[in-house]
């Protein structure tokens, strides 16, 4: 959910379940309504903690400098967003051969070639992150990643990127093959508030 819509959503939650108690949690805020319904408001990456709704909304909507790393197959996109604006970006695509139906030695040869192509693509991704993101690590509130978890893990396993790995948010964005438009769309997903609602337990019949 867009951070700017959180207060209206909470008003609606209160209208359905009653005015909730608000308690700070490690992940953000917990709303507990009189009827037993709860709502977990998970703060966006890089947003500081807050003890009440006003502070939470202010922190969630404030512009933050966030790093973005999207990786999937042979494509990688890195960027830096300030608030809703993408201020630094680079997309790199390297061909990675698809699977082949051939068998025997031919299949093994294609598999080795595909693995080598994938490794080369991830090497390019590391170089890109070193060049564009690493120098800005000290200015970033968080690093938000997306795409294939294994690919992202491989990129951030490079020792040079340890300062970025330390900033990595728990959130992994589900994105298609990274392109510039995908990187732009990822900003909203990285800044979004995630809400988990649990309805009150049904009353037991005597």
Q: Do residue 90 and residue 174 come from a single domain?
A: yes
Query: Which of 37, 62, 87 is the last residue in one of the domains?
Result: 62
Q: Do 81 and 180 share a domain, yes or no?
A: yes
Give domain status of residue 19, yes or no.
Answer: yes
| Domain total of the chain | 2
Give yes or no: residues 16 and 118 share one domain.
no
Identify whether residues 83 and 45 lie together within a single domain. Answer: no
CA 65, CA 196: separation in Å to the nearest integer? Answer: 26
Query: Does the pLDDT at position 111 exceed 70?
Result: no
Q: How many CA atoms lie within 13 A of 1 on its CB side?
A: 18
96 and 168 belong to one structural domain: yes
Measure the CA–CA gap between 62 and 82, rounded to whole angstroms: 10
Residues 91 and 122 in one domain: yes
For residue 199, is it within any domain?
no
Please give the full DSSP string across 94-141, using - where no structure is assigned: ----------HHHHHHHHHHHHHHHHHHHHHHHHHHHHHTGGGGGG-S
Percent of the chain at pLDDT exceeding 90: 75
Of the candidates 5, 44, 10, which has an alpha carbon nearest to the alpha carbon of residue 28?
A: 44
CA distance 190 to 173: 7
- Report the CATH number that the domain containing residue 135 is assigned in CATH: 3.30.420.60
For the entire predicted model, the pTM comes to 0.84
The reply to whether 98 and 38 lie within a common domain is no
pLDDT of residue 86: 97
Tell me what pLDDT residue 93 has: 75
State how far the alpha carbon of 56 is from the alpha carbons of 22, 43, 53, 190, 192, in Å. 11, 8, 5, 16, 13
Q: Residue 75, exposed/middle/buried by CB under 10 A (0-12, 13-18, 19+)? A: buried
Among the listed residues 191, 177, 150, 157, the one whose alpha carbon sits nearest the alpha carbon of residue 68: 191
Does any domain span residue 195? Answer: no
Q: Is residue 43 part of a domain?
A: yes
CA angle 190–72–130, rounded 5-degree value: 75
Cβ distance 30 to 39 under 8 Å?
A: yes
Q: Whose CA is closest to 42, among 197, 154, 158? A: 197
Q: Please check the confidence at residue 128 and state whether its pLDDT lies above 80.
A: yes
Is residue 145 located within the same domain as residue 79?
yes
Q: Return the higher-pLDDT residue of 120 and 166.
A: 166
Compute the Cα dihedral for 149, 151, 163, 146 and give only its sign. Answer: negative
Domain assignment present for residue 26? The answer is yes
Considering only residues 83 and 113, tell me which one the structure prediction assigns the higher pLDDT: 83
Would residue 201 count as lying in a domain? Answer: no
Residue where the block lists tokens 């909203």: 188
- Each residue of 4-28: pLDDT tens digit? 999 999 999 999 999 999 999 999 9
| Same domain? 11 vs 24 | yes
The pLDDT, as a whole number, for residue 109 is 56
Determine which helix (DSSP H) or strand (DSSP E) holds 15, and give its type and residue range: helix 6-17
Q: What is the pLDDT of residues 35-75, one digit of tens each?
A: 999 999 999 999 998 999 999 999 999 999 999 999 987 78
Range of the domain at 36: 3-62
pLDDT at 96 over 70: no
């Amino acid at each position: 959910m867009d951070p700017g819509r959180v207060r209206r959503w909470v008003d609606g939650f209160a209208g359905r379940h009653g005015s909730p108690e608000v308690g700070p949690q490690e992940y953000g805020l917990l709303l507990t309504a009189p009827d037993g319904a709860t709502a977990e408001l998970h703060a966006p990456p890089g947003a500081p903690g807050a003890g009440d709704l006003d502070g939470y909304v202010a922190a969630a909507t404030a512009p933050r400098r966030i790093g973005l790393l999207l990786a999937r197959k042979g494509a990688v996109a890195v960027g830096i967003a300030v608030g809703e604006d993408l201020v630094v970006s680079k997309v790199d695509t390297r061909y990675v051969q698809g699977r082949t139906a051939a068998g025997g030695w031919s299949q093994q040869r294609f598999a080795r070639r595909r693995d080598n192509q994938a490794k080369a693509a991830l090497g390019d991704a590391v170089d890109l992150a070193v060049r564009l993101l690493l120098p800005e690590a000290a200015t970033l509130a968080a690093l938000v990643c997306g795409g294939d978890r294994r690919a992202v893990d491989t990129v951030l396993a490079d020792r040079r990127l340890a300062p970025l790995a330390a900033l990595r948010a728990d959130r992994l964005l589900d994105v298609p093959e990274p392109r510039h438009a995908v990187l732009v769309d990822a900003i909203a997903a990285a800044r979004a508030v995630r809400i988990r609602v649990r309805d009150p337990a049904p009353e037991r019949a005597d």
